[in-house]
Structure 1
Amino acid sequence: MSALLAVFGSRRMAATLLLGFASGLPLALTSGTLQAWMTVEGLDLKTIGFMTLVGQAYVFKFLWSPLLDRYPLPVAGRWLGRRRGWLAGFQLALAATLGAMALFDPKGSLGALAALAVAVAFLSASQDIVFDAWRTDALLPAERGAGAAVNVMGYRLAMLVSGGLALWLADVWLGFRGTYALMAALMLVGVIGTLMAPEPDGVAAAPPRSLAEAVVGPMRAFFGRPWAVAFLVLIVLYKLGDAFAGALSTSFLIRGVGFSAGEVGLVNKTFGLAATIVGALAGGALMARLGLWRSLFAFGVAQMVSNLAYWALAVLPKELTTMTVAVAIENLCGGMGTAAFVALLTALCERRFSATQYALLSALSAVGRVYVGPASGVMVEAMGWPSFYLSTLAIALPGLALLVVMRGPVRRLEFASPANT
């Protein structure tokens, strides 16, 4: 217990929590909350649909990640260091840009608001690059699981604040412009986290010697690792079954089972969020005892078997309690799997190139989440909801089988020196 408290109670964990919050805060403000603002202002659906494109920076952030690996931010970099200097710069810029969004409204100044939303997405994606790099550089191997769990908790809490809470504040108290001004002020939480965070030292403090090395070096270093291609395949497959199960979960609960949108929203925003946070924290705590490989395997099996909760919901009589239990089980196990998976991505990054490598690996990990939607719809139409959810167990098996084959390489990551990973 004392060892567990030492891991979760460290200064690095406190900084990770605040930085995770700052990382999650801007996302809804350029997506769901912004869509709600435009809807309330009476904009047409075609315009609202096109505004979803403002978040493309999150997909292509790996393109400018070598610049953040190679160069420190002038002035701030000399004071705070390469990682923390960029973090503080992006956080202050996000606070200013979100504050600027509060000066406009969608009906009268859509162009200006769209440009600012694009800027927020770019700055937010850039902050994510540096935060992921800092976490990779600064956390010790024994802290990777706890760090992943605390990061998930901070990120999810921020999404609740900038999503559900922001909508409530806009509706009953502040209006959307006042709410965006408040969200801008909340970005200063990230600055506090940056000031608390220790700047990585040693190998992590030395940037690539040139921009060419910052671009080519991460690829050369990663593919020089034994089992490099197998690790890439594992990243795609590990949460694939979970991605299929979650791709149409809202449509399943509303159309497949017959719950109202309000019931689904209430359960997902309360029990779902709480279960994800509890699962991530439990996963991080268990990883301190189990190690990386055993955690990946155990949590992978759990997130696969948890898909049976949705199968049961599809075949049992409609009950709100049944939905609550199913959503809680699915999110609990998914949160545990996410904690182990983020720890794997962190362990795979070489500290000198961590910004670029993590950006590339996280983009690859999103392949399943982004592209399973169309396939899920076709499968549901062909086989129905109960058989679809049973099939997601089979989809999860190749990732677990590959993990078994790669037990040795994954276990070697657990004991790698942080200066050499």
Structure 2
Amino acid sequence: MIIPYFRIPPEVKRWLKEAWEIYRQKPVLVITLLGFSAGLPYLLVFSTLTAWLRDEGIERTTIGFFAWVGITYSVKVFWAPVVDRLRLPVLSRFGQRRSWIFLGQCGIAGGLLLMSFAHPQDSLWMIALAALLVAFSAATQDVALDALRIESADDEQQGAMSAAYIFGYRLALLVTGAGALYIAEFANWHIAYLTMALLMVVGMLAIFWADEPPHQTADERGRNEILLVDEIMGRPMHLQQRPRWQRWLLGAVICPVLEFFQRNGQFALLILAFIALFRLSDITMGIMANPFYLDLGYSKAEIASVAKVFGFFMTILGSALCGVLVVKYGIMRPLLLGAVMVAVTNLLFALLALIGNLGTPPLTALAVVISADNLSGGIAGTAFIAYLSSLANKNYTATQYALFSSLMTLPGKFISGFSGWVVDVAGYMEFFMVAAGLGLPAIILVLVLMQHQRREAELSEPLSAQEPAGSTSEMR
């Protein structure tokens, strides 16, 4: 037997070497572990929790209302200024970002422990309150973690940081999705949640290893805020003479918003609308995914193998593919591709529901739908994180990114609270068709943003052509 000789092209070797040099850096490795810490609680108060509740016989309408626990992620912007500015007693020696991340991790672990000791049939309110603690602590962790991720690397390294964060996050989703379902199948749900609580140690160890990113001093930040407010108002505001609480409110809450609107003008409203609507379709359908699989007749082990394990690798493939597309075509085209694919995959779920009316569909049908869903999610999610990171000013990273990520999930979390009611009244097929329709506004707004970006580029070209070599703008 002759074995064909295969030689790796030099270009591929060079690319692999460069990738290895990028991804072996300490900040990238740290953000991978912290991405795992950020992803761990998400499914445990979302789709994994709904699978537990459905497995215990809780009504689907009640399960749907549990989606509102996740609204905590969507209103974190209200306490993001506190996370950004307030120094924690004792823990502050870790640094502003690391101390708040560690506090959030402790809250997540404590909430998961409480959930592991409760029973849905007897202590549903206990589970709800513990899930709320987990969600609040996770949202707090996310505020500080997003700031640490953006501040720990230059703009040209943000792609690697985002990819590492997504890998860690998705690995956590695999563990809390497939892992929790496997443990629940062969042991019970209480042991599954206890195991997940213990896994928060991974993120805690990463915090001890991480370095605190550099920050502006209080004096530097104060001077910049005075200049910003005076420029926007068109006259001196004499902020130094105002009470301390007014200066704090202005600097921590108002200046981040003012800076964003000053930088983007009236178009800022359209950007915020796009952020709010981009993930509306997939968040709305996500709460009913696991109950849908169970109602089709699949076992928890089958769901774990196909929807979680297989889906994990498809998501990573989508993320890797998106990274290449962003390098080649920029951010906007992959955003458009992701928005279209997310809407279309909901139609595939509707088709699967139609087949399910005749009996449990073959496992290959579930695998095809899961492949499309996770591939589209990987592309859309990676492009969207890169887009949001590019919007944040590093002087106001925590508050501005919290604003973006809150808007990203709030509409979907609110609407998904009615998902169980829609399924009970109309059925799964109709529900997924509605979810697909909710993806249309995002597609339209991506096209509008692309047109605006193209117009801005055309306007800037004549100006750049008039500037002499070595000018100030060129130096920037």
Both structures adopt the same fold (TM-score exceeding 0.5):
yes
Compared CA separation, residues 391 and 216, structure 1 to 2 (3 A): closer
Higher CA-based Rg: 2
* 1:170 is the counterpart of 2:206: no
Instruction: Give 1:264 deviation, angstroms.
Output: 6.7
Instruction: Give 1:39 deviation, angstroms.
Output: 5.7
- Residue identity matched to 1:11: K
* 1:304 is the counterpart of 2:350: no
- Residue identity matched to 1:280: S
- Counterpart of 1:419 in structure 2 is none
1:179-328 mapped onto 2 (5 Å cutoff):
179-203=192-216, 210-212=247-249, 213-226=251-264, 227-236=267-276, 238=278, 260-262=297-299, 266-287=305-326, 289-290=327-328, 294-301=330-337, 303-304=339-340, 314=351, 321=364, 324-328=367-371
- Residue identity matched to 1:214: A
The Cα offsets for residues 82-118 of structure 1, whole Å up to 9 and x where unpaired, read as 0011112221333234334444545565555543332
- Counterpart of 1:30 in structure 2 is 45
On the 8 A contact 2:325/2:334 being kept in 1, the answer is no
Instruction: Give 1:32 deviation, angstroms.
Output: 4.2
Identical positions, percent: 31
Compared CA separation, residues 248 and 108, structure 1 to 2 (3 A): closer
Distance 1:10 1:180 in 2: 33
Q: Which moved more, 1:225-234 or 1:240-249?
A: 240-249
- Residue identity matched to 1:234: F
* 1:96 is the counterpart of 2:110: yes
* 1:403 is the counterpart of 2:449: yes
On the 8 A contact 1:28/1:162 being kept in 2, the answer is yes
- Counterpart of 2:88 in structure 1 is 73
Compared CA separation, residues 40 and 355, structure 1 to 2 (3 A): same
Distance 2:46 2:406 in 1: 19
Instruction: Give 1:38 deviation, angstroms.
Output: 5.3
On the 8 A contact 2:283/2:409 being kept in 1, the answer is no
Compared CA separation, residues 64 and 39, structure 1 to 2 (3 A): same
Q: TM-score, normalised by structure 1?
A: 0.77
Q: Alignment partner of 1:19: what SS? A: helix
Q: TM-score, normalised by structure 2?
A: 0.69
- Counterpart of 1:82 in structure 2 is 96
Distance 1:121 1:94 in 2: 8
Compared CA separation, residues 111 and 224, structure 1 to 2 (3 A): same
1:321-360 mapped onto 2 (5 Å cutoff):
321=364, 324-360=367-403
Find 1:59's aligned residue among 39, 58, 74: 74
On the 8 A contact 1:145/1:283 being kept in 2, the answer is no
On the 8 A contact 1:149/1:283 being kept in 2, the answer is no
Q: CA RMSD in A?
A: 4.3
Instruction: Give 1:280 deviation, angstroms.
Output: 1.5
Distance 2:338 2:24 in 1: 27
Q: Alignment partner of 2:448: what SS? A: helix
Pairs aligned (count): 402
Instruction: Give 1:341 deviation, angstroms.
Output: 0.9
Instruction: Give 1:179 deviation, angstroms.
Output: 3.1
